[in-house]
C-alpha cells in the first residue's frame, strides 16, 4: 500500500511558502498568472519578452494601444514588483492590473521586470537580474524591442517599484552612478511605493508592534541570512557599509507610504535622511492615512488607490 505520509517541513514562511526537508519549495500564494494582451478597460496593450536568454530573465512590456510611430515620445517606466523577494511575478494578475492602470494614467511605456526569486535564487540575484534588465533598457536603441526603440523618450526613464521592488529601484539608482556616470540613458527619477527598508533596532511603530516586527525580521532572514540581519546594507540604506543616498543618480525621488504599514517609518526615515543629505534632486513624500502595505495592489478600485496611481503618473510627467 502506498504511503500517505506528508513530506516533512523544514521551514514555513506563512502564508506564502514552505520549504520541505527534501529541498522542495511548496509555494502557497503569489503563483497566479494572467496572459499579456489588450486590456479593454484601460486600452493598454502588453506582451512578454525574454530579456536575458542566459538566465531566462523576462519582462512584460506595456504601451497605450492607440499610439503610432508619428506620436511624440513617451516616458518609460521600468517597474519592479514587490513580494519580499520571494513571491509574485510580473504576470501576477494584481500587478498586471496595476501596470495597466499606471500606463493608461501616465500615458507611458512600461517594462515590468520578472527577476528570479529566492530561495531558489538567493539574493543578490534579484538585484543582478534587475541590473541586467536595466542594461537591456539602456541598449534600447540597438538591442531593444520596437516598442522601446520607437516610442520611448530616453530622457524620461523612471525606476518605479513597490515594497521589495522599491528597494531594488533605490539600489539601481545608486549603481547607475557608481557604474558609469556617462551612461547615454539617464534616470529621470525613482518612485518608491511603500519601500521595503528595515533595520535591526526598531523605530516608530515597530517598537510596539512586535508581532509584525518579528514577521519582517523572519522574512528578511529567509531571503538574506547574513550576520548583519536587518542591518544588512541591502535592506538598511543607513546601516554600516550602505552607500550614501547622496549617490542617487536621478533628478527626483517620490516616496509613498501607508499609515498602517509596518514599513511606514522606514519610508519616512528614508525621506528625512534624503532631505538632510547633500543630494540635490527634488524630493517628495506622501502618506496615505488609514491604509496598509500595498493596499493599491490589493484594492485597486478604491478612491485612495486611484489617487495613488494619479500621483505616480503626475510625478512621471511633471518637469
Tell me the catalytic residues.
163, 261, 293
Look at residue 6 and give its three-state secondary structure. Answer: coil
Q: Are 202 and 213 in contact (CB under 8 A)?
A: yes
Backbone phi, then psi, for 237, in 5-degree steps? -70, -5
Q: 38-39 and 44-52: which strand pairing? A: antiparallel
What does the alpha-carbon distance between residue 276 and residue 261 come to, in Å, rounded to a whole number?
24
| Strands 250-258 vs 57-64: parallel, antiparallel or unpaired | unpaired
Helix (H) or strand (E) holding 25: strand 25-27
Q: Which DSSP symbol is given to 279?
A: -
Q: Are strands 152-162 and 187-193 parallel, antiparallel or unpaired?
A: parallel
What residues form DSSP beta bridges with 283? 253
Tally of CB atoms within 10 A around 213:
17
Amino acid at each position: 500500500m502506498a504511503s500517505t505520509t506528508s513530506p516533512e517541513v523544514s521551514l514555513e514562511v506563512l502564508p506564502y511558502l514552505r520549504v520541505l526537508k527534501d529541498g522542495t519549495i511548496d509555494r502557497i500564494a503569489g503563483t497566479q498568472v494572467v496572459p499579456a494582451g489588450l486590456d479593454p478597460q484601460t486600452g493598454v496593450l502588453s506582451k512578454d519578452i525574454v530579456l536575458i536568454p542566459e538566465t531566462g530573465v523576462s519582462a512584460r512590456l506595456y504601451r497605450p494601444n492607440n499610439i503610432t510611430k508619428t506620436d511624440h515620445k513617451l516616458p518609460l517606466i521600468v517597474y519592479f514588483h514587490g513580494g519580499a523577494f520571494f513571491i509574485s511575478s510580473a504576470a501576477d494578475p494584481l500587478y498586471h492590473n496595476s501596470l495597466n492602470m499606471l500606463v493608461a494614467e501616465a500615458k507611458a511605456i512600461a517594462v515590468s521586470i520578472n527577476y528570479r526569486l529566492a530561495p531558489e535564487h538567493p539574493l543578490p540575484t534579484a538585484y543582478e537580474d534587475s541590473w541586467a534588465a536595466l542594461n537591456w533598457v539602456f541598449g534600447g536603441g540597438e538591442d531593444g524591442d520596437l516598442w522601446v526603440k520607437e516610442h520611448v523618450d530616453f530622457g524620461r526613464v523612471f525606476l518605479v517599484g513597490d515594497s521589495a521592488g522599491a528597494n531594488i529601484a533605490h539600489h539601481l539608482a545608486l549603481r547607475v552612478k557608481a557604474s558609469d556616470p556617462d551612461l547615454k540613458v539617464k534616470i529621470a527619477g525613482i518612485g518608491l511605493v511603500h519601500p521595503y527598508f528595515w533595520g535591526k533596532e526598531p523605530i516608530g511603530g515597530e517598537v510596539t508592534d512586535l508581532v509584525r516586527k518579528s514577521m519582517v525580521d523572519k522574512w528578511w532572514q529567509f531571503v538574506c541570512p547574513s550576520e548583519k540581519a536587518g542591518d544588512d546594507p541591502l535592506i538598511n540604506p543607513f546601516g554600516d557599509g550602505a552607500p550614501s543616498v547622496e549617490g542617487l543618480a536621478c533628478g527626483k525621488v517620490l516616496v509613498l507610504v501607508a499609515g498602517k504599514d509596518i514599513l511606514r517609518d522606514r519610508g519616512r526615515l528614508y525621506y528625512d535622511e534624503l532631505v538632510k543629505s547633500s543630494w540635490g534632486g527634488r524630493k517628495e513624500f506622501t502618506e496615505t492615512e488609514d491604509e496598509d502595505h500595498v493596499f493599491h495592489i490589493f484594492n485597486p478600485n478604491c478612491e485612495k488607490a486611484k489617487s495613488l496611481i494619479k500621483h505616480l503618473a503626475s510625478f512621471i510627467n511633471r518637469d
